[in-house]
Structures are given as C-alpha cells and as structure tokens.
C-alpha cells in the first residue's frame, strides 16, 4: 500500500493545504528514491565536448559540475525539451545533459548501473567493438580524405570530431543513405561518415594489439618547439600510420607536458591535447644557468638554437633562432637590450663588409630589431632565411615574424639576455 493510501485511511479529513504539502513530499520521495527503469538494450551516448550536468530539464536547473569531453552516459528516459536524462557511470548517479553536446556511442567497457566492473584480461585487445545486429558481419573502411565524424545521418547533424586521413572504422550496420554508421576504435565512439569519403580497409591496429598507457618518466610543463622537416604529431606513442594526426613544420609551437616511455621502450613527449611527439622531434628549453627577477631571456646556442623568455624562474615562451655562422658566431655572455628599432634597413657596410662583396647585404624592412651588443648583435625578424635553429647570420639571432613580434611586445629596454 502506498504512503498516500495509508494517510487517507487515518480516518481524519485533510485540509486542501495539508494535502498539497503531502503530495509535494510524496513527489520528492519518488524523484529521490526511484531510479529510472533501464531498457534491456541500453542506449549510450558520448560527449563530443565538455558539458554541464544539470539538475533538471529546464532553464531553472542548476549545474552539478562539468563532464569532460568523451565522457559516456546511458540514456535513462526519453528526451525532455533540449536535454536528456542520463546515468553517469563515473559517478553512479543521474543528471540531465544538453542533447546537442552528445552523440551515439557504444557502451564503455563493463559499464552498467547494477554490475561492477570486471578487469580486462591483458592478453586480449583493448578495443572490442560494439555489439552488431544479429547476422551482420563486421567490415572495415578508411577515409581517403580528411573528413568529419557526424552525430547522425541528418544533413543538419553536428560534427563529433575532425578525422585525419586514413583512419579506420568498423561499419556497424548496413548503409542507409549518404552516411554510414561506424565505430572508431581510436576514440571508442560511434558516429557517421560520408560514404563519398571512405573505401574498404583492413581492420584497425587498435584491434590487433594491447595498447597500454605509457609510463610517465617525468613532468616537464615547458613551452617548446618542434624540430625537423619530417615531424609528425601522433595520437598514440607509436610509429603507425593510423596513429598519425598530421605533419607539423619545423619551429611549430608546442607545450610539452611530460616525457613518457611507450610499451616498446621508446621515449616520447606528451604535448597539447594529449598527443605525442618523438623526443628527438622536439626542442625543450634546457635548465637555465642564470636567474633574474622579472623578465629576462635565455639563449642556448647548441643546435637547434633556442631562445626562452622567462618571468623570474617561469618559462613563458620559447622559439628557435638562426644563430651566427662559424666565421661570424653569436657571442656568448650576459647582456641587456639597449636599443630597439621597429623597422630598419640593415647594411653590411656599417660593419665593414662591402654590399657587393662576399657576405655583403642590403636588407630593407627588417622588423622588430632589439640590439643587445655594441657590435650589432640583435634579435630581429629574418625574412630571407627559414633555417630556424641552425647557423645563418653574422652574429644576430634571427626569428620568424610571429616570434620576433612576440619578443618585441614582451621585452623592453634593459631586459637581460644570457647567451651560452
């Protein structure tokens, strides 16, 4: 018998106000203690961006906090307005989320509101794939152009993520329309690909190996630069085409968070967005040998030459620089910026070298020059060479346009410069 039934059998009439109060309490009790009924075949979604967990479906709801990108949720009730009522396997609790923030997904491993997680046997692959319709055999496709993974077949669907060329996907149901429903083993998520962008493929490398998290060697957290002409940003610390995200040019700005060791013993840097670069493809600022209060600049001349801007002991910026040739080297020492010229003409005759002779030059519109020695050594924009990190000057430290502008805006007269 319900609580309300017991109350009405007490034999005493209730006022309308008392009845309203009792109904409110009964409703709250049901809302707090009754879990939504789960379907036999639960539907899962995954957040394609960080999203709020709301207390209700309307604009008056309050946020319980934010869920990270790629978080899993099981749908617990039909959509109400613009929000879904879901079960969060991380917190083992319920909340509302904005439907526009999520897309279809396979279930996370060992996820269920009633079952406790079971450990994954190490001998099996990390990726297993979603449950397929009865009688349907899996097959694989790869995108031969850069494309997007969509949240649905609808032409107005939102993109879940940008897909680099040559990623592999399992087709999880027969084609229906211009988009095909697929599962990404790389992201462990389900979405839709434009049929025009894909073709048959071998199974993903994620299905063939046990991919274990890399071992953290040390925390770094320093601004750094990529090195070389064949540097590739990867989603995993392994040299595999499917893990490639994109090539990045020499002297590309990256933030190095930590050094890690992959399962094969190779060393990598974990950089922005949790991606990876080989350690020999990155120039990290070395530990300084000097220190100053306020802003100062440290330069290490070893190849590739790196310039690092410090505020006290904190590195706030770094970049590669063109240094002096062996015959006209950049001179080590401790200096300070004593002259700044926003736009000038550099003439080799001013340092005793004829313009038309060996090593002569006449360079107009040299931007953001900051002199730190009396014989003309300076930081400046170098538009006539692109060999950043290697020799190529008469003693100056040549930077690209973006880096020279950054250093110009940040530094000032009297900023200390240490060259070693």
Where a domain ends, among 147, 176, 207? 207
What does the pLDDT look like over 287-334, one tens digit per residue? Answer: 999 999 999 999 999 999 999 999 999 999 999 999 999 999 999 999
| Residue 239 DSSP class | -
Q: Is residue 402 part of a domain?
A: yes
| Residue 82 DSSP class | T
Question: Are both 74 and 190 inside the same structural domain?
Answer: no
Calpha distance 189→72 (Å, rounded):
9
Calpha distance 288→66 (Å, rounded):
39
Question: Are both 273 and 221 inside the same structural domain?
Answer: yes
Question: Are both 359 and 390 inside the same structural domain?
Answer: yes
Q: Is residue 131 part of a domain?
A: no
Question: Are both 332 and 403 inside the same structural domain?
Answer: yes
Let me know: does 96 contact 85? Beta carbons within 8 Å: yes
Question: Are both 92 and 190 inside the same structural domain?
Answer: no
Question: 69, exposed or middle or buried, with CB in 10 Å at 0-12, 13-18, 19+?
Answer: middle
Q: Is residue 93 part of a domain?
A: yes
126 vs 397: which has the higher pLDDT:
397
Question: Are both 338 and 315 inside the same structural domain?
Answer: yes
Q: Is residue 132 part of a domain?
A: no
Question: Are both 412 and 300 inside the same structural domain?
Answer: yes
Mean pLDDT confidence for 159-182: 91
Question: Are both 413 and 301 inside the same structural domain?
Answer: yes
Calpha distance 222→12 (Å, rounded):
74
Question: Are both 169 and 198 inside the same structural domain?
Answer: yes
- The overall average pLDDT reported for the chain is 83
What does the pLDDT look like over 289-301, one tens digit per residue? Answer: 999 999 999 999 9
Number of domains the chain contains: 5
Q: Is residue 123 part of a domain?
A: no
What does the pLDDT look like over 241-253, one tens digit per residue? Answer: 888 888 999 999 9
Question: Are both 267 and 309 inside the same structural domain?
Answer: no
Residue range of the domain that includes 20? 3-33
Question: Are both 186 and 302 inside the same structural domain?
Answer: no
Q: How confident is the model at residue 29 (pLDDT cuts 50, 70, 90)?
A: very low
CATH of the domain at 176: 2.30.30.40
Calpha distance 53→336 (Å, rounded):
52
């Amino acid at each position: 018998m319900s609580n309300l039934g017991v109350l009405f059998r007490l034999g005493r009439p209730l006022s309308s106000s008392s009845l309203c109060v009792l109904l409110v309490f009964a409703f709250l009790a049901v809302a707090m203690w009754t879990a939504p009924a789960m379907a036999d075949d639960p539907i899962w979604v995954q957040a394609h961006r960080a999203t709020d967990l709301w207390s209700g479906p309307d604009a008056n709801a309050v946020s319980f906090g934010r869920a990270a990108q790629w978080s899993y949720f099981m749908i617990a009730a039909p959509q109400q307005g613009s929000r879904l009522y879901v079960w969060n396997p991380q917190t083992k609790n319920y909340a509302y989320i904005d439907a526009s923030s999520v897309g279809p997904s396979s279930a996370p491993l060992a996820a269920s509101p009633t079952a406790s997680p079971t450990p994954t046997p190490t001998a099996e692959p990390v990726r297993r794939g979603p449950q397929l319709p009865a009688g349907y055999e899996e097959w694989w496709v790869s995108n031969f152009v850069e494309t997007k993974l969509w949240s649905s077949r609808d032409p107005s669907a939102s993109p879940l993520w940008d897909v680099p060329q040559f990623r592999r996907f399992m087709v999880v149901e027969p084609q229906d329309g211009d988009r095909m429903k697929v599962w990404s083993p790389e992201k462990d998520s389900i979405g839709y690909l434009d049929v025009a962008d894909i073709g048959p493929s071998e199974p993903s490398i994620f299905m063939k190996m046990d991919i274990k998290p890399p071992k953290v060697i040390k925390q770094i957290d320093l601004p750094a630069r990529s090195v070389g002409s064949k540097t590739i940003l990867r989603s995993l610390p392994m040299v595999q085409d499917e893990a490639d995200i994109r090539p990045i040019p020499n002297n590309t700005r990256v933030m190095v968070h930590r050094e890690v060791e992959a399962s094969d013993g190779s060393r990598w840097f974990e950089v922005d967005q949790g991606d990876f670069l080989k350690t020999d493809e990155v120039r990290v600022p070395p530990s300084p040998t000097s220190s100053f209060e306020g802003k100062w600049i440290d330069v290490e001349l070893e190849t590739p030459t790196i310039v690092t801007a410090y505020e006290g002991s904190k590195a706030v910026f770094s970049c590669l620089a063109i240094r002096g040739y062996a015959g006209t080297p950049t001179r080590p020492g401790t200096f300070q910026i004593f002259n700044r010229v926003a736009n000038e003409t550099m003439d080799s005759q001013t340092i005793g070298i004829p313009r038309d002779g060996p090593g002569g030059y006449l360079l107009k519109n040299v931007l953001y020059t900051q002199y730190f020695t009396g014989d003309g050594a300076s930081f400046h924009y170098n538009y006539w060479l692109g060999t950043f990190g290697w020799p190529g000057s008469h003693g100056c430290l040549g930077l690209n346009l973006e880096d020279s502008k950054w250093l110009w805006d940040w530094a000032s007269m009297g900023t200390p410069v240490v060259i070693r």
